[in-house]
Amino acid sequence: MKLFFVDDSYRREGILGHGGFVIDALHAKMLMSDLTNLKKEFGIPHNVEVKWSPEPDHFLRTKFKGKREELYTQVIKLIYKYEAKIICAVHDLNECYGRKKHNWSLDTTIAWATAQQFKYLAERFEKPLLTQVGDIGIIIACEEKERKNTILNSFNWLVKFGTEFRDLNNICLNPLLIASRYCSLLEIADIIIGVFVGSLVDNKYALQQFESLLEGLLKDPHEGAIAFGGLVSSSTLGFGLILFPASFKNKGRQLFGNIDKKYIYEKDRDAPQPVLRLVTKT
């Protein structure tokens, strides 16, 4: 069984995202232990949540003696030990059709975008991640009290009938919603989606972490291809990271501009899996 840990991030610029990482259930307890040990190394009590945007009175702002950027880098690295995959969906709420054309309130727009994002996350979780290996999975999401019913009501329909594009036969339940203080792996999801949303509004601290997410970001598997090579942006946008609406995708292409100059995504004929490779300039 695979577990998909999902958290949310919202910026006052009007950017909302949901996402996180997928890991085999057999590795979840080991990853939890790794996170606990990492907190100890950084002098963080085990019961303190690691957050991308901690509250003003949070331990990371008031008592933490280390460098938060180094902490976040090390937290992200933990998931690669277990071959985790990252999937995120982000909306520019200001450009959403209902808000621009029909004057939806911010709350209405957030509720609509949340339902759309969970639908996309489910589609990518189902295929390729679950169908490729014939496995089943569950989404475990951070409980959002104000949007709890939106998530459960919309997903209840999806589990039963699928989306316009895909049946969700391998996702066996509605998302399990739990407060992050009771599920430490949601702390990692919080950092992942926080980095993506922050990068999309040019937050300098998020941009420093952006490249560290590339290894795990779900990419087009190019099913059936013997070998291929392509830009990182064209392989990830629409797979590991989807941006809504269409006009927001230009921001994604800008975000990947320097990445596309440094890396290519390719699969050699004899390689079992596609990989990221540094571009060799001649």
| pLDDT at residue 280, rounded to an integer | 66
Confidence of residue 218 (pLDDT cuts 50, 70, 90): very high
Hey, is 11 helix, strand or coil? strand
Residue ranges of domains in the chain, CATH in brackets: 2-227 (3.30.420.10)
Mean pLDDT across 131-148: 89
What is the full DSSP assignment across 100-143?
HHH---HHHHHHHHHHHHHHHHHHHIIIIIITTTT--EEEEEE-
Find the mean pLDDT for residues 18-31.
98
Where residue 129 falls among pLDDT bands split at 50, 70, 90?
very high
- The CA–CA distances, whole Å, from 276 to 54, 168, 280 equal 32, 29, 12
In the numeric block, the tokens 């982000």 are attached to: 90
Secondary structure element (H or E) that encloses residue 18, with its range: strand 15-24
218 or 274: whose pLDDT is higher?
218
Query: Is the pLDDT assigned to residue 139 strictly greater than 70?
Result: yes
Average pLDDT, the chain: 92
> Mean pLDDT over residues 1-15, rounded?
96
pLDDT greater at residue 16 or residue 163: 16
Q: Which one, of 256, 216, 232, lies nearest residue 5 by Cα? A: 216
d(CA 248, CA 144): 25
Residue 115's pLDDT is 92
Task: Note the pLDDT of residue 154.
Answer: 82
Q: What is the pLDDT of residues 9-19, one digit of tens each?
A: 999 999 999 99
Q: pLDDT class for 146, splitting at 50, 70, 90?
A: confident
Please tell me the predicted confidence (pLDDT) of residue 39.
Answer: 97
Q: Which of 153-167, 173-187, 188-202 has the lowest mean pLDDT?
A: 153-167
pLDDT tens per residue, range 221-276: 787 788 888 899 999 999 999 999 988 999 999 999 999 999 999 888 777 778 88
Least confident stretch, 3-7, 26-30, 144-148: 144-148
What's the rounded mean pLDDT across residues 59-75?
A: 96
More confident residue, 167 or 278: 167
pLDDT, position 116: 93
Tell me 245's DSSP state: S
Rounded CA-CA distance 115/121 in Å is 10
| Strand, coil or helix: 217 | strand
Greater confidence, 134 or 222?
134
Q: Show Cβ contacts of residue 104 under 8 Å, excluding neighbours closer than 6 positions.
A: 96, 98, 112
> Mean per-residue pLDDT for 153-181?
89
What does the DSSP 8-state code read for residue 127?
I
Largest CA distance in the chain: 55
Rounded CA-CA distance 95/116 in Å is 15
